[in-house]
Amino acid sequence: MNSPESPFPRLLEPLDLGFTKLRNRVLMGSMHTGLEDIPNSHQRMAAFYGERARGGVGLIVTGGFMASKHCLPENVEPLFKLPGEIENHKLITDAVHREGGKICLQILHTGRYSRTENLIAPSPIKSPINKFVPKEASAKTIEEEIEAFVDFAGFCQQAGYDGVEIMGSEGYFINEFIVERTNHRTDQWGGSYENRMRLPLEIVRGVRARVGENFIIIFRLSMLDLVEGGSSFDEAVQLGLALEKAGVTIINTGIGWHEAQIPTIATKVPRAAFTWVTAQFRQRLSVPLVTSNRINTPEVAEEVLARGDADIISMARPLLADADFVNKAAAGSSADINTCIACNQACLDNIFNGQLTSCLVNPRACHELELEISRAAQCKNLAVIGAGPAGMAAAITAAERGHTVTLFDADNKIGGQFNLARQIPGKEEFSETLRYYRRQLDKLGVQVKLNHRVTVDQLNASDFDEVILATGIVPRVPAIEGIDHSSVVSYIDVINGVIEIGDKVAIIGAGGIGFDTAEYLAHSGESASQNIPVFMAEWGIDMSFNSRGGIEGVEAEFEPSPRTIYLCQRKSEGLGKNLGKTTGWIHRLGLIKRGIKMLAGCQYQRIDDAGLHLMVGNEPKLLEVDHVVICAGQESRRELGVGLHKTFHIIGGADVATELDAKRAIDQGTRLAAQL
Ligand code: FAD
Ligand code: NAP
Ligand code: SF4
């Protein structure tokens, strides 16, 4: 073990793999950043991975690189086959090695998840999350695909990688061969379990033969498929044992196929929710095991290792949020870590929307070369009005650059609307962002003036050189007859607990805040995101390892809402269409399972003692409710911009209220302050 004085002795303990040594137990899990698909983006990848290696990560795994032309559009070859690519990839491996880190490239075959008409799978069975139907791979094609993995591994060795990760989970090509759900073949690649696990074993054997003994091979093994027709526990262990014999160095944990209807990494998922799965495999396998999913602080990682659940901790998004995670932990200042809040908003949602990955709490992630925070040429005296996400981001960035900054807020605390967000069951992580900002404001010497509503006259009379207006929003009050009725309340008073809400409630507006308010009102006890067994029971996951795929034959057990809740919108489309791409379905499904009634196509007529009168489609309806909560969007608050004679800038909700979220607010605040 590392020195007993070390703040995290197990996490920071080196791991000897025989032929090579990892400097600690932190593995940066593979994340598709979007840079992999852009030709000539190696410099950007080198900056991205190099910064994480400099931050102390022991072993980095790159985003998935496509192994086969069957993962790519017609006539596009995998990048590793292009001329000059070895030299290009050396930029990445050199950048990591210079900082004392190690790096493996993930070889990915997307199988029936490929977004191309050229896609292949063991059997021609369409995935529920892809419009394309795969062709059945012929025996010859399968041999070619194995060869592609082996060639790619040889390429990686030449390019200076310390190893490869073979992606065998998440419902991709290799995983599709392993389970009956997607493998209906009757040849040597299907039927018996021996036949179904032939593909991963052939790939690992082939790669090991090509690269020799002194090269890391990680296999990402699907330990819990979370889909019907997935592997049983015994089968997955059998495969793990066979992979060891075939020559893997490390086995990584895969949890859940992409098409599984169970959240595995969203903010609602408790921290370290799935390490009990790795723990069971660790009792049966002998190579080092990596565990993952929702481990976002060094304290939690240390606990997982202390319990003996795994040998290595994989963290992916936490290293987008803070490249210096490991160094800060080692220095005993984990309170300085900018914690990943598992929102998915700038990482996975971006990727699924065809954009580059970044991070809501750290807009520099994957933009290292373009967004630099350097010393200001001329130090100014700046006032930032509003300590919400936009104002806090601007204040710490400006202070870091050497400006003198005073941050004002009318409230008695920093955080703006994040103080409401963090009270929503399942969003407890948002408190970490406030802790981070509080600490940075203090360390960087920003003067924080709370309980201080700033006026234009004060600003005009001040000696500030420039003013940043980050005053946020005011909730929209819709023009509905009876809007002043005593039953009408604002979401702010509801979430702050100022008003005791009755048993029957209608919510007007089903955007992010309408959904969150419904979530808040639909809970009575402890949030499942704070309790692993409750979470598993809610989503129907068997923790005894008796169910195939971890879910077959298990009923989900959501606690019903203690109130009757109607969630209403005017649009006739399904509710929640504009929520996060990778998390919206979780919010929707959770509320439906709790019995929340969702009404689309509403025209609100009036609110009176009887309740909310409305038309739903062409049908008149009366919702006999005790309260009507207004969540009808926002309008910018920018009265300070009128009559202000100083140079000023407007950011966040004060700039544009429509479709505002903290991703935009923090990004805008950071980028403005980076160039002042
Ligand atoms: P605000 O957070 O509104 O901050 C503005 C600040 O300015 C306030 O603190 C206010 O007191 C202060 N102020 C105003 N006028 C003055 C003045 N004259 N003098 C001094 N101070 C003043 N976003 C996401 O991205 N993801 C989520 O999951 C998410 N969930 C949410 C859940 C809820 C329940 C709510 C309410 C919001 C949520 N949001 C979420 C939205 C997110 O919080 C906002 O987009 C973000 O806070 C906007 O930041 P801002 O800094 O522009 O404004
Ligand atoms: P929003 O997403 O714009 O939703 C506003 C809702 O009010 C919509 O349902 C809208 O739909 C309705 N509405 C608008 N004008 C109305 C009117 N005059 N009368 C009645 N209904 C009206 O805004 P929000 O819910 O306030 O959220 C603000 C921002 O915070 C969002 O943009 C979101 O990105 C962010 N946020 C994100 C999350 C998250 O989980 N990612 C969570 C919370 C908040 P109809 O017009 O169809 O009725
Ligand atoms: Fe974590 Fe959200 Fe950043 Fe993604 S965008 S890394 S989930 S904080």
Q: Is 539 in the pocket of ligand 1 (CB under 6 A)?
A: no
**Given 161, 172, 491, 520, which residue is catalytic?**
172
Cβ-Cβ contacts under 8 Å for 158 (sequence gap 6 or more): 86
Q: Is 631 in the pocket of ligand 2 (CB under 6 A)?
A: yes
Q: Which ligand is nearest to the CA of 436?
A: 3
User: For residues 434 and 335, what is the distance between their CA atoms, to the nearest angstrom?
Assistant: 11
The ligand 1 atom nearest the CA atom of 408 = 20
Per-residue pLDDT reduced to its tens digit, 325-339: 999 999 999 999 999
pLDDT for residue 1: 52
Ligand 3: lining residues by beta carbon, under 6 Å: 317, 320-321, 340-347, 359-361
The Å distance, Cα 655 to ligand 1 centre, comes to 12
Name the architecture of domain 381-475+639-675: 3-Layer(aba) Sandwich (3.40)
Order of strands, sheet of 381-385, starting from the edge strand that comes earlier in the sequence: 447-449, 404-408, 381-385, 466-469, 647-650
Cβ-Cβ contacts under 8 Å for 501 (sequence gap 6 or more): 489, 494, 521, 563, 626, 627, 629
The Å distance, Cα 641 to ligand 2 centre, comes to 25
Range of lowest pLDDT (32-41, 178-187, 375-384, 536-545)? 32-41
The Å distance, Cα 73 to ligand 3 centre, comes to 29
Handedness of CA 158, 82, 40, 28 (dihedral sign): negative
Fold of domain 15-341: TIM Barrel (3.20.20)
Q: Which ligand is nearest to the CA of 410?
A: 1
pLDDT for residue 553: 93
Q: Are 564 and 504 in contact (CB under 8 A)?
A: yes
Residue 365: is its pLDDT beyond 90? yes
User: For residues 11 and 23, what is the distance between their CA atoms, to the nearest angstrom?
Assistant: 10
Q: If you take atom 6 of ligand 3, which residue's CA is the nearest one? A: 317
Average pLDDT of the residues in 395-412:
98
Q: Is 519 in the pocket of ligand 2 (CB under 6 A)?
A: no
Q: SS3 of 601, please?
A: coil
pLDDT for residue 524: 83
DSSP secondary structure of 425-449: TT-TTHHHHHHHHHHHHHHTT-EEE
DSSP secondary structure of 52-97: HHHTT-SEEEEEEEE-SGGGSSTTPPPGGGSTTHHHHHHHHHHHHH
The ligand 1 atom nearest the CA atom of 389 = 51
The ligand 2 atom nearest the CA atom of 491 = 26
The Å distance, Cα 424 to ligand 3 centre, comes to 18
Handedness of CA 476, 480, 481, 487 (dihedral sign): negative
Q: Which residue has the tokens 């963290």?
A: 315
Tokens of 454: 């700033």
Q: SS3 of 619, please?
A: strand
The Å distance, Cα 348 to ligand 3 centre, comes to 8
Query: What single letter denotes the amino acid at residue 73?
Result: P
User: For residues 672 and 394, what is the distance between their CA atoms, to the nearest angstrom?
Assistant: 7
Per-residue pLDDT reduced to its tens digit, 588-647: 999 999 999 999 999 999 999 999 999 999 999 999 999 999 999 999 999 999 999 999
The ligand 1 atom nearest the CA atom of 423 = 34
Average pLDDT of the residues in 294-310:
98
Q: If you take atom 20 of ligand 2, which residue's CA is the nearest one? A: 632
Per-residue pLDDT reduced to its tens digit, 230-268: 999 999 999 999 999 999 999 999 999 999 999 999 999
Q: Is 581 in the pocket of ligand 2 (CB under 6 A)?
A: no
User: For residues 38 and 45, what is the distance between their CA atoms, to the nearest angstrom?
Assistant: 10
Confidence at 306, pLDDT banded by 50, 70, 90: very high
Give the residue range(s) of CATH 3.20.20.70 domains in the chain: 15-341
CATH of 488-524+559-632, one of 3.50.50.60, 3.10.20.30, 3.40.50.2300, 1.20.120.430: 3.50.50.60
Q: Is 511 in the pocket of ligand 2 (CB under 6 A)?
A: yes
Helices (H), ranges, 358-455: 389-400, 418-421, 430-443
Which pairing describes strands 488-490 and 473-475: parallel, antiparallel, or unpaired? unpaired
Q: Is 407 in the pocket of ligand 1 (CB under 6 A)?
A: no
Give the residue range(s) of CATH 3.50.50.60 domains in the chain: 488-524+559-632
Q: Is 388 in the pocket of ligand 2 (CB under 6 A)?
A: no
Give the CA distances from residue 522 to residues 126, 538, 565, 595, 596, in Å, rounded to whole numbers and listed in that order: 36, 14, 8, 9, 8
- Decide if 437 is catalytic: no
DSSP secondary structure of 168-219: E-TTSHHHHHHSTTT----STTSSSHHHHTHHHHHHHHHHHHHH-SSSEEEE
Q: Which ligand is nearest to the CA of 603?
A: 2
Q: If you take atom 46 of ligand 2, which residue's CA is the nearest one? A: 570
pLDDT for residue 456: 97
Cβ-Cβ contacts under 8 Å for 359 (sequence gap 6 or more): 317, 320, 321, 340, 346, 347, 365
The Å distance, Cα 258 to ligand 1 centre, comes to 32
Give the residue range(s) of CATH 3.40.50.720 domains in the chain: 381-475+639-675
Per-residue pLDDT reduced to its tens digit, 192-219: 999 999 999 999 999 999 999 999 999 9
pLDDT for residue 630: 98
User: For residues 217 and 248, what is the distance between their CA atoms, to the nearest angstrom?
Assistant: 5
The Å distance, Cα 576 to ligand 2 centre, comes to 10
Residue 587: is its pLDDT beyond 60? yes
Ligand 1, pocket-test mutation among 361, 437, 464, 471, most atoms within 8 A of CB: 471
pLDDT for residue 40: 74
Q: Which ligand is nearest to the CA of 427?
A: 1
Q: Is 571 in the pocket of ligand 2 (CB under 6 A)?
A: yes
Per-residue pLDDT reduced to its tens digit, 39-82: 778 999 999 999 999 999 999 999 999 989 999 888 788 877 88
Ligand 3, pocket-test mutation among 344, 357, 418, 431, most atoms within 8 A of CB: 344
DSSP secondary structure of 538-564: HHT--TTS-SGGGTTT----PPPPSSE
Ligand 3, pocket-test mutation among 343, 356, 667, most atoms within 8 A of CB: 343
Helices (H), ranges, 401-505: 418-421, 430-443, 456-461, 491-495
Cβ-Cβ contacts under 8 Å for 604 (sequence gap 6 or more): 478, 480, 508, 568, 570, 612, 613, 614
The Å distance, Cα 469 to ligand 1 centre, comes to 13
pLDDT for residue 659: 81
pLDDT for residue 37: 73
The per-residue b/e assignment along 111-135, b for 16 or more CB within 10 angstroms, e otherwise, is: bbbbebebbbbbbeeebeebeeebb
The ligand 1 atom nearest the CA atom of 669 = 51
Q: Is 478 in the pocket of ligand 2 (CB under 6 A)?
A: yes
The Å distance, Cα 417 to ligand 1 centre, comes to 3
